[in-house]
Structure 1
Amino acid sequence: MTERIIKHKILEDLELNTVPFTWNNTVLYGNEGESITAALLANDIRKLREHEKDSQPRGMYCNIGHCSECRVIVNGKKNQRACLTPLLKDMAIEQQMEVPYVVKEGSPYV
C-alpha cells in the first residue's frame, strides 16, 4: 500500500485505522471509512472493470458518483459506486463485468 497523508495544514492530523478487505478474492488493506476507490488506488489498482461492449479498461472517472464508471459488487450487492462507498473491515469487493440495466433488443433488462 502506498504512503498516506496523515498530517495536513488545514485538516487535523488523521488517525488511520487500517483494515483488510478483498478485491477479486485478493486480500488488500485500506483505511476504514475512506472510499473504496481511494483504498484501491492506494493499492495500485487502477482498472475497476471492463467496458461491456468493447472490453476497454474502466477506472475512476468523475469520483463524485455521477458517471457510474466505478461500479463494483460489494458483499454480493451489485452496482455499488466505489467512489461513494466507504471501506469497511472485511468487505468483499469484486469487479462488475455486466451492464447494470439497459434496454437491449426490446427487453428492459439484460
Structure 2
Amino acid sequence: MTLNFDGREIPFKPGESVAAALYRSGVKSWRITRENGRPRGLFCGIGVCFDCLITVDGERNQRACLVSAQEGLTLSSDSSLTAQTNCAQTNSTQPNSAQHAEQTEFEGEL
C-alpha cells in the first residue's frame, strides 16, 4: 500500500497516519514557516500544534498527524520546501534539546 508524496511513492501500514508514514520513510519536514522559512513536520503527533500541515488531494492545510493514510492519496509539500526535503531526510530521528527548544520557540509561526 502506497501514497504519493511530491511524486515519490511512500509505503504505509494499515491504521497509520500520513505523518507516521512520511516520518517512517525518512521524510522529516514537508513545510516551512512563513516568517523565517524554518522547516516543519511532525511535532506533537496529536493535532494540537499545526506544525504538520500538508496538502492532501489538493486540500491545503490538513494536519498530517490526523489524516489516515489511504491507498492513492496525493500529498504535496510546501512548494518552497521541495528542494529542502532531501536535506531534512538526513536529520536525526530524535531532536536534541537545542533543536527541541528552537522548534518550541517558533511553533506559533504558521
Pick the TM interval, shorter chain.
0.5 to 0.7
* TM-score for the superposition, normalised by structure 2: 0.67
Q: Does 1:59 align with 2:41?
A: yes
Cα distance in 2 for partners of 1:55, 1:32 equals 33
Higher-RCO chain (CA-CA 8 Å, sequence separation at least 6): 2
* TM-score for the superposition, normalised by structure 1: 0.67
Q: Work out which of the two has the higher radius of gyration on C-alpha atoms and give 1 or 2.
A: 1
Tell me the amino acid that sits aligned with residue 95 of structure 1: S
Residue-by-residue CA offset, 1:83-107 (whole Å, 9 max, x unaligned): 0110000110111369xxxxxxxxx
For residue 70 of structure 1, what is the aligned residue in structure 2? Answer: 52
Contact 1:50 1:97 in 2 (8 A): no
The sequence identity of aligned pairs, in percent, is 29
Root-mean-square deviation (CA), in Å? Answer: 1.6
Instruction: Specify which structure has the higher proportion of helix.
Output: 2
Runs of 4+ in 1 over 3 A off after TM superposition: none
For residue 21 of structure 1, what is the aligned residue in structure 2? Answer: 3
Moved more, 54-63 or 66-75: 54-63
For residue 85 of structure 1, what is the aligned residue in structure 2? Answer: 67
Tell me the amino acid that sits aligned with residue 91 of structure 1: L
Cα distance in 2 for partners of 1:96, 1:84 equals 18
Q: Unaligned stretches of 5+ in structure 1?
A: 1-18, 99-110
Instruction: Specify which structure has the higher proportion of strand.
Output: 1
